[in-house]
Amino acid sequence: MSIAAKTHKPWRSIDKTVLMQQLIVHLGTPFLAMFITINTGFSGYSGFLVVWFFLHLVTASLLGKFGKRKRAVSDSLFEVLSTAAVIAFLLFVISVLEPVFQLGLENFQVHHLFEDAKDTGVDTSLDIGGLGHALLGTLMTVGLATLFSLPIGILAALYVTEVRGVLTPFVRFFVQAMSGVPSIIAGLFAYAVLIASGILTYSGFVAAIALSILMLPTVARTAEEVLKLVPDDLRSAALALGGTQWRAVRMVVLPAARSGLVTAAILGIARVIGETAPLLLTAFGNREYNLNPLEGPIATLPTYIFQQFLLGTENDVRRAWVAAFVLLVLVGIVFSLARVVSSRFKQA
């Protein structure tokens, strides 16, 4: 009898009893649930789901307690509940994304990305015009807002982590308080200070300022967190090598936190890219391309979506779905880019 000849994968082997018990729980409960829904007051699809969920909860817990693979009831309950939560979460996300992708892709045409809406009236066919002006407007306003809030946010974070000046608690407090500012208030502020007072007109610039107010706390807080992760040893080493604090920050601390700072920027962008309310008050909206962010109303994807939905005709609602789809893809691209960029920094 040879001993070594037979290879096998002990972790793969399935115990028949365990398999049977699992089958009963996972396949038996839906049948039982169906039986209960048909024969009792519970009705319909949702009734079935509720009954099934509770039946499964009970049987899976019992199986955990008395079945072949024993575990504590609390452990198996926890497992079933957390799995249910994950499924609920995924259902939620998918049910949001599904109509956007379905209706968006159904109506999307490539020329939508480049043409503006100056030739489209109410309920014009989707073969004419597009949302290029809104796409460009979003890129411009969000880009400008990033340009404003990234340096300020990082400097504020540096004040808290490196300078540690007397104002540190106040900076922390205000950053925290600012992250609770409703976006419409930021819009109203920019409108009242810059537009109503007659200093500027509706423009991408004012919109960018309103968005910066919303972006700043996100950028500052994230930057603070990543700067805190830079080991103190590196700061000490830089100072011991005769660096001034600013040189040490610029040459050592900031480069060490590079990938995290990219994340801070991305989170800031994600915070504002879908904002609508402040843009209605500051950028207003436009039917055609406006390449000058300093002057004149400018269209953005969120305001475009809002205005198309308000028109309410079949073709206009479809345009809104297309814009929603484009916005979602844009967000996806920004996030993937951030992933790639920050992982590349980490390797370096």
Partner 1 sequence: MDNVSAYEVPTTEAVVTGREEVTRMESAPIAMEARNVNVWFNDHHVLQNVNLEFPQNSVTALIGPSGCGKSTFIRTLNRMHELLPGAKLGGEVILDGSDIYTPGVDPVGIRLKVGMVFQKPNPFPSMSIGENVISGLRLSRKKISNKSDVMEEALTKAGLWKEVKDRLNVSAGSLSGGQQQRLCIARSLVLHPEILLMDEPCSALDPGSTRKIEETMMELKESMTIIIVTHNMQQALRVSDHTAFFLAEDGKPGEVVESGPTVELFHNPRDSRTDDYVHGRFG
Number of helices (H), then strands (E), belonging to the chain: the values are 15, 0
| Shortest distance, position 161 Cβ to partner 1, whole Å | 13
Closer CB to partner 1, 147 or 237, in the complex: 237
Q: How far is the CB of 235 from partner 1 (least distance, A)?
A: 8
Nearer to partner 1, 57 or 171 (CB): 171
> Residue 87: how many CA atoms within 13 Å on its side-chain side?
8
Residues that bind partner 1 (CB under 8 A): 231, 233-234, 236-244, 247-248, 251-252, 255-256, 258, 348
Helices 204-228 and 132-158, interaxial angle, to 10°?
40
Tell me, rounded to whole angstroms, the distance of Cα 88 from its chain centroid: 18
Cα separations (Å) of 348 from 185, 233, 341? 42, 20, 11
Residue 70 or residue 250: which is nearer to partner 1 going by CB? 250
Specify whether the CB–CB gap between 133 and 116 falls below 8 A.
yes
> What span, in angstroms and rounded, lies between the C-alpha atoms of 259 and 257?
6
Q: How far is the CB of 244 from partner 1 (least distance, A)?
A: 6
Comparing CB distances to partner 1, the nearer of 34 and 237 is 237
- Least spacing, CB of residue 267 vs partner 1, in Å: 22
Q: Provide, rounded to whole angstroms, the least separation between the CB of residue 165 and partner 1.
A: 13
State in angstroms the smallest separation of the CB of 53 from partner 1.
49
- The token duo for 67 is 């079945």
Instruction: Report how far residue 57's alpha carbon sits from residue 72's, in angstroms, rounded to the nearest whole number.
Output: 14
Nearest CB to partner 1, comparing residues 71 and 258: 258
| Cβ nearer to partner 1, comparing 233 with 314 | 233
Task: Pull the structure tokens for residue 313.
Answer: 């005709």
Q: Are 131 and 112 in contact (CB under 8 A)?
A: yes
Among residues 30 and 255, whose Cβ is nearest to partner 1?
255
- Which residues, in sequence order, are CB contacts of 113 under 8 Å at separation 6+? 130, 131, 132, 135, 326
Write down the least CB distance from residue 292 to partner 1, Å.
Answer: 39
